[in-house]
Copies of this chain bind each other. A is one copy, B any other.
């Protein structure tokens, strides 16, 4: 039964059969009318998901490519920037900005907490020369969602651009690019957009274009000015991943058919269920209350039991993959994703199998109690 694989990691996530079927479309050229028409439709749908009137550029790269595009099109050597680092992906902004020669002021916040708006406000007020503030909407490594609306209200009063990593949030957790004053948002295909890895996407605000247009930092593949020039005719500067564009078109159609509000509500329901199940099993969550992600849940392994042992049992005995912890959290947490092509039965599997794995590693689990808590949430009783 090797064909039975249950992927519950925060990316890549399972791909719906409808998307894979669409991707079987025979190859066609990217300079064709067919491509241009599809590209236009994709951008219009991506604008709805990003809730923006800005251009959306779909890049043939991972989400990190889109993040680099944000950095290389904005930063000049010596620019002062503020990075918000409360996990592996916040840390990535710091590394990237430094690589491009920025003078980085890094605000490190505790893993499991959200960035404190008061700290950000103080930093913005004390340093008027920040060119950009780099934030993470959903910090995948800690299962924390940051308050981007709050950050946007603060940053909008300054010359700095607000640049946000939405890789693991877009399509799972509501994101209002324009209303929240986000200048650049970068995302990837392999999370809540329900696609295989291979595409990134980026939005650019009017305020950001003024910086991007004047930026002379060497870049070629991720040059947003080239993207802008090409998108006027629904082209891309270089050969795009045509097949993934076809898949993205199909996945966005699925999202539109379900309705964005319903998509977010589904993610919230699944997250509530998993949190209730963890509690019922006597397990603690890594993320603080109030900033817990609706896309992924990080659960602390019980005292004396390595999360890696639980993950091994899940994989070997039930072909279920949870994510582990990164860096200092390795062995201490496991992460259950509920993003993208995920629904109630996936959580029933996750918790049903988790209970059996906990029993196997010697945790005094009450079988069925996590599933019961999940069922109560799904039935609206909790």
Contact = CB atoms under 8 A, between A and B. Distances in A.
B318 A344 contact: yes
Interface string A338-382: 000101110011001101100110000001111110011011000
Nearest to A373: B368
B353 A379 contact: no
B345 A359 contact: no
A18 interface: yes
Contact of A375 (B3, B319, B341, B352): B352
In which size bucket is the chain A interface? 35 or more
A321 B371 CA distance: 20
A258 interface: yes
A21 to B, nearest CB: 10
Contact of A3 (B1, B18, B266, B356): B18
A100 interface: no
B376 A341 contact: no
A379 B352 contact: no
Contacts of A4: 341, 343, 345
A240 interface: no
Nearest to A20: B17
Copies of this chain, count: 2
Given A16-B3, A258-B1, A360-B379, A352 B371 contact: yes
A6 interface: yes
A1 B342 CA distance: 8
Contacts of A256: none
Contacts of A349: 345, 348-349
23 contacts: A1-B266, A1-B343, A3-B18, A3-B254, A3-B341, A4-B345, A318-B344, A344-B353, A345-B352, A345-B353, A348-B348, A348-B349, A352-B352, A356-B375, A356-B379, A359-B379, A360-B379, A367-B375, A368-B368, A368-B369, A368-B375, A371-B371, A371-B372
Interface of A: 1-4, 6, 16-18, 254, 258, 266, 318-320, 341, 343-345, 348-349, 352-353, 355-356, 359-360, 367-372, 375-376, 378-379
